[in-house]
Every structure is written in C-alpha cells, then in structure tokens.
C-alpha cells in the first residue's frame, strides 16, 4: 500500500539519544498516531494536500487554511521523494514546516512522505487518495507539471457516490 510505504522507514535516532531502538519506538508511535487519525470518523473533511517545495504549494496551503473547519477536519500533507539516501528525512522536515502552519488552524494533521516508485506521480497520488478515502485534494499547479509527472492533473468529481477530487492553485 502507498500509505504503508509512506510510513515504512524509521527516522534516524532521536536527537541526543544515539539509540536506534528509541528511534524505532518514536517512528512506531508516529505511525500509530497517523493510522488512528486516518481511521477516525471526522465531522468535517479528509483533505489531502500534495506538497512540493515551490510557490504553488504555498498558495495551496493558503487556500487550505481558508477552507478548514477547526476541530472537524483532517489534513494529510503528502510529498513524494526519490529513493536517494536522506530524501525521506528531507521530505519529513519539509512537511513538518508546513504541518506547523496548518496545525495553527486547530485541525488534525498527518504528514506522509511517499517514496518514488515505478508509478507516475499522478498514479501515486491517486492511489494514496483512494486509500485514505479523501474528500478533497489540493495540488499546487506546478506540482504535476514536471518531468515524469504523467502529463495530467487530478480534477475529476465522482459525485454523491464517492469522494470529490479537485486541483487548485495558480493557473487553475
């Protein structure tokens, strides 16, 4: 599963601990917390925000903040990184900055780093969205326009029988 891959790698040991088992315990606790939040029933929406380190993501986050219902919504911040050593940690640090900004809106936040696979970027995002049963997807328009992105954007609505999906950001 895509979400399992997002939480599959343990981070480096907790700062100052030097103990790999402590890092494993921290990673397991974070994974359990994220799984609990994803499984919880929300009065509001489950919102996936696809994050890339660019201006379009900042616009997407500003849009998100204007839509949130405090104590009702779940925001799942997602980024896709390469399989290079250290990319996972860099992705987590990047999402943590955005997560701090979103948590100020008093909503639950999950930060997932997906490791790039043979799937296109669009396929990875669609798989994640389906798995977490998101109600809304927010993507900065630059996030799907790079090489290997698949050449399409997420923008279909499945009506009343399923979750709605949309893409937002500059140029949309």
Instruction: State if pTM tops 0.75.
Output: no
**Measured between alpha carbons, how far is 138 from 40 in angstroms, rounded to an integer?**
21
Residue 156 lies inside a defined structural domain of this protein: no
Residue 94 lies inside a defined structural domain of this protein: yes
Beta bridge partners of 115: 81
Residue 77 lies inside a defined structural domain of this protein: yes
Of the two residues 134 and 42, the one the predictor is more confident about is 134
Of the two residues 24 and 117, the one the predictor is more confident about is 117
> Burial letters for 40-78: b for 16+ Cβ neighbours within 10 Å, e otherwise?
eebebbbbbbbbbeeebbebbbeebeeebeeeebbbbbb
CATH number where 34 lies: 3.40.50.620
For 115, the domain range is: 27-139
For residue 45 the two structure tokens come to 């929406």
Domain count, the chain: 1
Residue 147 lies inside a defined structural domain of this protein: no
């Amino acid at each position: 599963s895509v979400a399992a891959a997002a939480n599959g790698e343990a981070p480096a040991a907790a700062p100052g601990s030097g103990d790999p088992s402590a890092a494993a315990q921290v990673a397991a606790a974070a994974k359990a917390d994220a799984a609990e939040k994803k499984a919880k029933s929300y009065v509001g929406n489950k919102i996936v925000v696809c994050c890339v380190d660019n201006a379009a993501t900042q616009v997407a986050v500003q849009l998100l903040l204007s839509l949130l219902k405090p104590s009702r919504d779940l925001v799942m911040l997602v980024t896709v990184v390469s399989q290079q050593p250290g990319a996972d940690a860099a992705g987590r640090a990047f999402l943590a900055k955005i997560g701090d900004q979103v948590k100020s809106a008093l909503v639950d936040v999950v930060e997932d780093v997906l490791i790039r696979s043979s799937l296109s970027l669009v396929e990875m995002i669609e798989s994640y969205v389906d798995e977490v049963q998101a109600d809304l997807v927010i993507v900065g328009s630059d996030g799907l326009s790079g090489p290997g992105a698949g050449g399409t954007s997420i923008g279909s609505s499945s009506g009343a029988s399923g979750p709605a999906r949309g893409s937002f950001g500059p140029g949309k």
